[in-house]
A and B are shown apart, each in its own frame.
Chain A
Amino acid sequence: MTPPLVAFRDVEKTFPNGVRALRGVTFVVRAGTCHAICGENGAGKSTLMKCLFGLETPDSGSILIDGRAVGPDHSPRAAAAAGIGMVHQHFSLVASLTVAENIVLGREPTHGPLIDRAAARAEVRRTATRFQLAVDPDAQVAGLSVAAQQKVEILKALARDVRLLILDEPTAVLTPQETAELFERLRHLRAEGLTIIFISHKLREVRALAEHVTVLREGRVVGDAPIGAISDDAIARLVMGREVRAARREVRHALGPEVLRVAALSMPAAAAADRLVDVSFVLHAGEILGVAGVEGNGQRGLVSVLSGLTRPASGQASLLGRDVWRMDTAALRRAGMGHLPADRFAQGGARTLSVADNAIGGEHRSPALGRWPLLSRWRVERRAATMVSAYDVRCRGPRALLGSLSGGNAQKLIAAREFAAEPKLLIADEPTRGIDIRAAAFIRTQIIALAERGSAVLLISADLDELLSLADRVLVLFGGRIAARLENGPSLTPEALGPYMLGLRTAA
């Protein structure tokens, strides 16, 4: 029998800060299959993949590719030479370069001493067509939406000749349509013989794509089975160590007083993701208003205007009866706005500051944190410790750097901070993107609880199941306009939203 494409044998990894991320991981990935890896935030999934891709070195144990152990000099270059491509959980694109430049980075086609831009562009177009992932090769990465950046990442990995593609939570940033499309492409690639390792917190996706699933918990393999031999409940139990109840909003109250009123908001000249045309709506206390739409249809613009980051070209807005038209972020925050940003590391926090420093942002002027102008270190750390335990953030303590936390855990901390301020208006932008089932259920419960206590919530989410289980009403954005205003109810399904999201119908 041919050896498996990849075999992990007793792989151990302890980080310099003492975190034991991997404890004797042993399992195999067979060629030509799609192999899913599940596990809660901080289970060690990304770390294991980084070991395979040569970005981290295991302390002991071995990794075998085609039956041959990789040497101590394993590196991303060696991994690429062995036909391994990886799409990281956090993007590794160079923001100031164009899409084409990013994709050919490190192996640029040359023309004498110069980079042959035309060839690079042509190559990118070819790859993009072949895998049907539409991108503009000349667009600057900095200006792309998160979903588009993810596409570029995938293309970048596919553009090299790969036999094994590692996807670390690729769908966390994609819309359902884009996910379905991606899966279509991945199935096609698998039929051509590509092996795929796929990390996801969404069991539905695992079932849709994978043949085999390995479950990690606290750095150990706790389950490894063909997908047909294991039920979703069994996987969820293995991931969590116990059952989780899905969060769903049951009670719906009469509408409270008006919190946010937006009238004729427009930014017609902005880039597609920011463009808004004549957006008007009212949001009441205790209400959760969902915003649906294919990514890049104005959601980003809506969030950045309401959170005070951009000034709209025209329109009106009032928060709790006060005119907040053109207020900046500081004033909006004072007026009761809270914002959980979609891009956690660009806006939500600072990797090079400690968990404690990240936890007190916005609250750092409060007298509860020490006598003015000092910040009591003890109080700051106790404050952070409260959030860490309430939201079950896995970290070494308040002094750990945010950058040393796993993706999902960093996000939980940021959510904890924004919710702790008890905002009158919470803008929750993709609040559960990339976090595990239990943490997602927990955050949804917190959003519901916030609404029950009288906050108004504007929930932007590409996860339609999430939207429909939380929202009282749903707005659908298409091309920067409100394409539909729908009451949520049993008859509203993801399928029913589809035509509005694609601009085929309107009901505004």
Chain B
Amino acid sequence: MIRTAVLATLLTLALLLAVVAVVLVPIVLVLPDPRGAVGMFLFGPLADLRHLGNIVEAATPLMFTGLAVALMFRVGMFNLGAEGSFFLGGVFATFAILRLHLPDPIMAPVAILLGAAVGSLGCVVPGVLRARFGASELVSSLMLNYAALFAGLYVVNYMLRDPNAGAMLSYRLPAAAKLPRILPGTRVHLGVLVGLAACALGGVYLFATRWGYEARVVGANPGFARHLGLPITAVAATVQALGGFAAAAGGAIEVQGMYLRFSWQALPGAGWNGLVVAILAGLYGGDFAMDRAPLGGLRAVVTLPAADA
């Protein structure tokens, strides 16, 4: 048993090395200073606090989208709406901040919640279409991501856009809307802690609550779920809503933690990387123990450079 585990790890390492080599070869061939470039590529991220901070900053949104994908796939739905939800989450958090005149002390959290609630639609709609009409959630979520993009851009352009900014940017976000930095010398913000907590909560939900139990049964064998009389449609839809909520909260937190203005012109790709993270973290594999779920979040951080490279 231990032997197979060691073998699997070695194999993973070998594969990683091979991938890195394949990526590096063309780079080395075209650059004037190949040694410096390779050194920068391999060790740059670990060089100092600022660079380490970059990793954590980039990992933060992926914790949310990774969690979202892992949840949604667990009930057997291949819902890729996390991308659209993430984008909408950012848009509607900005909307709440700029248009709703929220009192300063509650502005940041209310904006996140509102963005998350509206943004979750990006995952709920494909889930409901599947449950009610049998439409493939894979196809509909992929297409709806673009609907989410253009709906979001419409809102930005007609309601949030700063005419003096010279590009399609929103007005500046007020200080009260921003998430506090938690590591001096970096841009790492409170969102990373929220992300870790969300992943831990996701693990508790899936593996320690009755709802999570039902979700896992529906995902593992719908025939068994039917035999037990579980409300399969409701369970699946609920989990899609939770997944969408997590992804959209990630979008809101990304905007409020990292940006001066809302400035996305296209889908930022966090949903796709979330898919990679969920797979790398082993979150949606069939056979892993409860203990490992909260680790998914941490693993997301560690696996990020590979996912983003």
User: A-side interface residues toward B, CB under 8 Å?
Assistant: 16-18, 307-309, 328-333, 339, 341, 345-353, 357, 360-362, 364-365, 372-375, 377, 399, 401
B207 to chain A, nearest CB (A): 8
Bound together, the chains give a CA A332 to CA B227 distance in angstroms of 11
B2 to chain A, nearest CB (A): 10
Chain A to chain B contacts (Cβ below 8 Å), 17 pairs: A329-B226, A347-B227, A349-B221, A350-B220, A350-B221, A350-B224, A351-B221, A352-B221, A352-B287, A353-B221, A357-B213, A361-B224, A364-B210, A373-B211, A374-B210, A377-B208, A401-B287
Lowest 8 A-B CB distances belong to which pairs? Answer: A330-B229, A329-B229, A350-B220, A350-B221, A352-B286, A347-B227, A346-B223, A347-B223
A423 to chain B, nearest CB (A): 13
When the two chains form their complex, are residues B227 and A341 in contact, meaning their CB atoms are under 8 A apart?
Answer: yes
A336 to chain B, nearest CB (A): 13
When the two chains form their complex, are residues B228 and A375 in contact, meaning their CB atoms are under 8 A apart?
Answer: no
Bound together, the chains give a CA A339 to CA B227 distance in angstroms of 8
A159 to chain B, nearest CB (A): 29
| Chain B, interface residues (CB within 8 Å), range | 20 to 34
B110 to chain A, nearest CB (A): 26
B291 to chain A, nearest CB (A): 10
When the two chains form their complex, are residues B226 and A309 in contact, meaning their CB atoms are under 8 A apart?
Answer: yes
A residues near B211, Cβ cutoff 8 Å? 373
User: Can you name the residue of chain B whose Cβ is closest to the Cβ of A15?
Assistant: B1
When the two chains form their complex, are residues B210 and A375 in contact, meaning their CB atoms are under 8 A apart?
Answer: yes
When the two chains form their complex, are residues B228 and A362 in contact, meaning their CB atoms are under 8 A apart?
Answer: yes
When the two chains form their complex, are residues A16 and B4 in contact, meaning their CB atoms are under 8 A apart?
Answer: yes
User: Can you name the residue of chain B whose Cβ is closest to the Cβ of A401?
Assistant: B287
When the two chains form their complex, are residues B208 and A353 in contact, meaning their CB atoms are under 8 A apart?
Answer: no
Q: CB within 8 Å of A: which of B205-223?
A: 208-211, 213-214, 216-217, 220-221, 223
User: Can you name the residue of chain A whose Cβ is closest to the Cβ of B3?
Assistant: A16
Bound together, the chains give a CA A374 to CA B203 distance in angstroms of 12
Bound together, the chains give a CA A422 to CA B221 distance in angstroms of 24
B residues near A401, Cβ cutoff 8 Å? 287
B13 within 8 A of A: no
Among A16, A328, A345, A377, the residue within 8 A (CB) of B229 is A328
A residues near B217, Cβ cutoff 8 Å? 350, 353, 357, 361
A residues near B226, Cβ cutoff 8 Å? 309, 329, 347
Bound together, the chains give a CA A309 to CA B223 distance in angstroms of 10
With A349-B221, A375-B208 known to touch, is A18 a contact of B213 (CB < 8 Å)?
no
When the two chains form their complex, are residues A361 and B228 in contact, meaning their CB atoms are under 8 A apart?
Answer: yes
With A373-B210, A373-B211, A401-B287 known to touch, is A353 a contact of B216 (CB < 8 Å)?
yes
When the two chains form their complex, are residues A374 and B209 in contact, meaning their CB atoms are under 8 A apart?
Answer: yes
When the two chains form their complex, are residues A373 and B221 in contact, meaning their CB atoms are under 8 A apart?
Answer: no
Among A341, A345, A375, the residue within 8 A (CB) of B213 is A375
Q: How many A-B residue pairs have CB under 8 A?
A: 76
With A328-B229, A333-B229, A374-B208 known to touch, is A347 a contact of B214 (CB < 8 Å)?
no
A499 to chain B, nearest CB (A): 35
With A330-B231, A332-B229, A350-B217 known to touch, is A375 a contact of B209 (CB < 8 Å)?
yes
Among B210, B220, B227, B289, the residue within 8 A (CB) of A329 is B227
B155 within 8 A of A: no
A430 to chain B, nearest CB (A): 15
A residues near B58, Cβ cutoff 8 Å? none
B residues near A375, Cβ cutoff 8 Å? 208-210, 213
A427 to chain B, nearest CB (A): 11
When the two chains form their complex, are residues A349 and B210 in contact, meaning their CB atoms are under 8 A apart?
Answer: no
Bound together, the chains give a CA A341 to CA B226 distance in angstroms of 12
When the two chains form their complex, are residues B1 and A18 in contact, meaning their CB atoms are under 8 A apart?
Answer: yes
Q: CB within 8 Å of A: which of B33-59?
A: none
B residues near A374, Cβ cutoff 8 Å? 208-210
When the two chains form their complex, are residues A330 and B230 in contact, meaning their CB atoms are under 8 A apart?
Answer: yes
When the two chains form their complex, are residues A372 and B210 in contact, meaning their CB atoms are under 8 A apart?
Answer: yes
B residues near A346, Cβ cutoff 8 Å? 221, 223
A residues near B227, Cβ cutoff 8 Å? 307, 309, 329, 339, 341, 347-348, 361
B175 within 8 A of A: no
B residues near A331, Cβ cutoff 8 Å? 229
Among A308, A339, A364, the residue within 8 A (CB) of B214 is A364
B290 within 8 A of A: yes
Bound together, the chains give a CA A345 to CA B214 distance in angstroms of 17
A residues near B208, Cβ cutoff 8 Å? 374-375, 377
A residues near B209, Cβ cutoff 8 Å? 373-375
A238 to chain B, nearest CB (A): 32
Bound together, the chains give a CA A352 to CA B216 distance in angstroms of 10
Given contacts A349-B224, A357-B213, A375-B210, 18 further A-B contacts (CB under 8 A): A16-B1, A18-B1, A309-B227, A329-B226, A329-B227, A329-B228, A330-B229, A333-B228, A347-B226, A353-B217, A353-B221, A360-B213, A361-B217, A362-B228, A362-B229, A374-B209, A377-B290, A401-B287
A residues near B286, Cβ cutoff 8 Å? 352
Bound together, the chains give a CA A183 to CA B7 distance in angstroms of 47
User: Can you name the residue of chain A whose Cβ is closest to the Cβ of B218?
Assistant: A350
Bound together, the chains give a CA A435 to CA B216 distance in angstroms of 28
A14 to chain B, nearest CB (A): 10
Bound together, the chains give a CA A350 to CA B286 distance in angstroms of 11
B residues near A350, Cβ cutoff 8 Å? 217, 220-221, 224
B residues near A330, Cβ cutoff 8 Å? 229-231
Among A17, A349, A362, A399, the residue within 8 A (CB) of B289 is A399
Bound together, the chains give a CA A375 to CA B204 distance in angstroms of 10
Q: Mark B267-309, 1 if CB is under 8 A from A, else 0.
A: 0000000000000000000110110000000000000000000
Q: Which of A308, A329, A331, A350 has the most C-beta atoms of chain B within 10 angstroms of its own C-beta?
A: A350
A residues near B231, Cβ cutoff 8 Å? 330
B residues near A347, Cβ cutoff 8 Å? 223-224, 226-227
Bound together, the chains give a CA A350 to CA B209 distance in angstroms of 18
Bound together, the chains give a CA A341 to CA B228 distance in angstroms of 11
B residues near A372, Cβ cutoff 8 Å? 210
B residues near A362, Cβ cutoff 8 Å? 228-229
User: Can you name the residue of chain B whose Cβ is closest to the Cβ of A308?
Assistant: B229
User: Can you name the residue of chain A whose Cβ is closest to the Cβ of B290?
Assistant: A377
